[in-house]
Structure 1
Amino acid sequence: MTRRIVVDTDTGIDDAHTLLYLAGRPDAEIVAVTSVFGNCVEPDAARNIAYVNRLLGLDVPIARGAGEPLTGTAHIAGYVHGKDGLGDVGYDRPLPETTGESAAELLVRLGREQPGELDLLALGPLTNLGQALRIDPELFTRYRSVVLMGGSGPYAQPGELLMVDANINNDPEAARAVFSAPRNELVMVGVNVTATTILDEVAINALRAAGTPVARFATEILDAYLDFYQNEWGRRIIPLHDPLAAGILLDPTFATASVDGPVNVRTDGFLARARLMRTHDGLPPAFPYQPAPPTKVITEVDAARFVADFVEVLTR
């Protein structure tokens, strides 16, 4: 079965990889793409969508979205993805023609026009989704599923630390609206699992050796990302954050364990995370929490099988 997907993206390096992956999968059809701030400023996210679409020969509607969170100021991750979001390689990236709607308006219109037929894949801060829910509080019931890259899973075992939950931290208010909204299915693919899905030196060399336009672009944009992540592991390797969310949307068996339950967005005073309201051993947390409809929270993945699929798709 082909999944018809609307992609909401703050088009940085792993977002671009995700678009390449979706376009290379025979069971995926990209229906529309919307831009949001995050990995880069929103105009660059829109430019990057258009650049990747041209590379792929993909002609789909693009709508421009939020340049800042619902409240507060935007945090832009240029130190991770390069100032332009694609590693500052120097591509010619004119602004795209758009539908004339906001991203939120496009998400609402497509959901109403094609109820139950589309999947929504959210790869950046959830601001566009939060704005769309203000227009249509039943929005997520109109999509077959909503899959998002964000969140931190259940509470970790004592002594275990996680990567920053950037997409949630960039707009906690929008994230709270998303996790409390009625839905058909909401799937959270968080940093608890994406950080384990590593594109290592062997896989990166396989991409470099492929020589196809897609594989060449995928490796050209990697240096800024590798520069950042070498500080995490002492090796020039990267996690496949956003691509894993796309993989699980298309093939749920990439997820080997999940828990359905309420997700709250909570802050420690510095950073916000979306958490399943369970400890690592399945118990409720030691504090009161807000009730919420169940979210499918991915807790374990077959990282090796997904990475192999990702490399195979991008090197065809």
Structure 2
Amino acid sequence: MHKVIFDTDPGIDDAMALLFLHASPEVDLLAITTTFGNGTIETTTRNALYLAERFGIAAPIGRGAGAPLVGAAGDPPDFVHGGNGLGDIDIPAVLTRQPDPRPAYRLIIDLVRTHPGEIEIVAVGRMTNLALALREAPDIAPLVKQVVIMGGAFGINGVLGNVTPAAEANIWGDPLAADEVTGANWPLTMVGLDVTQQTRMPTPFLRALANEAGKVGRFIWEISRFYEAFHLKGGVDSIYVHDSSAVAYLLAPDLFETRRGSIRVVSEGLAFGMTIQKPADQSGPPSPWDGRPEHRICTGVDAEGLRRLYRSTLQLRSGR
């Protein structure tokens, strides 16, 4: 079993990834922690509570950071996820689920210390909660089994950022936090745009989920209408599989090709938010990458295998 903390900013693709985790019989979801990004922290926390209530997810939900380590949060990308973060579907005004009394970073610290060597963190939003946990309790890093991040763009096959030519959104939203997280001595893999844009879910695939995966599949179809429309405006006739790719790496890392090396994140200037890996086999003069731990980035993916895994996992939950 994977004992998982899911750090997220729901978000349409975040919701799809959360339901992927919840459907997997191999996952023990210990907590959901929220961060700003696809909405304000109020919106993303409300969405996490709503998803947990609607789909019977028992994990505690810790409200997390509402702004980056330095500066203010930018405006949420309403044009991607809708004004309510979930494609503008109807959401009840009142929810029965309430957040855990602990802030997200403290919930992370407590769970890691309670389950040393067992916790796997899947982080698909800004890295702020993880950075705050490390600042408060740097001793937790070697106690974490692994960290899987959806974030970054490393230029594999010419893939660039999606906020600027240099930066992917999750990293751009708090690059200082990302640099601190990638500098920590815990096993870490970044699943960036280099592979998430290689895997797409076209309309027939999403329609099949609606027909085959019960209420979860119908919900995914509903929220993905707004998301698909955004992609179509950009000339993409399907949706990119961003956050669910990080879950797929957790469940089936053999679907991915990876490269090891130290990682730095640019936190100022024109390349703000850019992620740069120095491959482990690359020599050179002294540089800011020296002394940093080696981590993995994903460089290739079996896209069809990932889609099969997603579909079969949701079908399993629905009883088909």
**Normalising by structure 1, what TM-score?**
0.91
In the alignment, does 2:66 pair up with 1:67? Answer: yes
In the superposition, relative to structure 1, how do residues 200 and 101 fare at CA in structure 2: closer, same or farther (>3 Å)? Answer: same
**Shift, 1:273, TM fit:** 2.0
- Could you list the per-position Cα deviations for residues 272-307 of structure 1 after superposition, in whole angstroms to 9, with x for gaps in the alignment? 12221249xx75699943321011111111111101
What is aligned with 1:251? Answer: 252
In the alignment, does 2:140 pair up with 1:139? Answer: yes
* Amino acid in structure 1 at the alignment position of 2:313: V
Given that 2:206 and 2:220 are in contact with CA atoms closer than 8 Å, whether structure 1 keeps it comes out as no
In the superposition, relative to structure 1, how do residues 112 and 70 fare at CA in structure 2: closer, same or farther (>3 Å)? Answer: same
Whole-angstrom CA distance in 2 between matches of 1:274 and 1:31: 29
What is aligned with 2:116? Answer: 115
**Shift, 1:201, TM fit:** 2.2
Whole-angstrom CA distance in 1 between matches of 2:28 and 2:132: 25
**Normalising by structure 2, what TM-score?**
0.90
Whole-angstrom CA distance in 1 between matches of 2:181 and 2:223: 31
In the superposition, relative to structure 1, how do residues 287 and 216 fare at CA in structure 2: closer, same or farther (>3 Å)? Answer: farther
Whole-angstrom CA distance in 2 between matches of 1:287 and 1:227: 47
In the superposition, relative to structure 1, how do residues 30 and 289 fare at CA in structure 2: closer, same or farther (>3 Å)? Answer: same
Aligned-residue CA RMSD in angstroms?
A: 2.1
- Could you list the per-position Cα deviations for residues 19-39 of structure 1 after superposition, in whole angstroms to 9, with x for gaps in the alignment? 111111111111111110001
What is aligned with 2:312? Answer: 312
In the superposition, relative to structure 1, how do residues 287 and 78 fare at CA in structure 2: closer, same or farther (>3 Å)? Answer: farther
Task: Structure 1 unaligned segments of length 5 or more: list them.
Answer: none
What is aligned with 1:168? Answer: 171
In the superposition, relative to structure 1, how do residues 117 and 148 fare at CA in structure 2: closer, same or farther (>3 Å)? Answer: same
In the superposition, relative to structure 1, how do residues 217 and 45 fare at CA in structure 2: closer, same or farther (>3 Å)? Answer: same
* Amino acid in structure 2 at the alignment position of 1:120: I
- % same residue: 33
What is aligned with 2:189? Answer: 187
Name the count of aligned residue pairs: 308
Report the secondary structure of 2:138's partner residue. Answer: coil
Alignment of 1:1-316 (within 5 A): 2-75=1-74, 76-92=76-92, 94=94, 96-153=97-154, 155-156=155-156, 161-164=160-163, 165-183=168-186, 185-210=187-212, 212-235=214-237, 237-255=238-256, 257-266=257-266, 269=270, 271-278=272-279, 283=282, 288-291=287-290, 292-315=292-315, 316=318
Task: Structure 2 unaligned segments of length 5 or more: list them.
Answer: none
- Could you list the per-position Cα deviations for residues 202-260 of structure 1 after superposition, in whole angstroms to 9, with x for gaps in the alignment? 2112123236111111111112211211133342x1011000101111111121x1111
In the superposition, relative to structure 1, how do residues 137 and 203 fare at CA in structure 2: closer, same or farther (>3 Å)? Answer: same
Whole-angstrom CA distance in 2 between matches of 1:14 and 1:114: 28
Whole-angstrom CA distance in 2 between matches of 1:98 and 1:179: 28
Report the secondary structure of 2:147's partner residue. Answer: strand
Whole-angstrom CA distance in 2 between matches of 1:187 and 1:138: 20
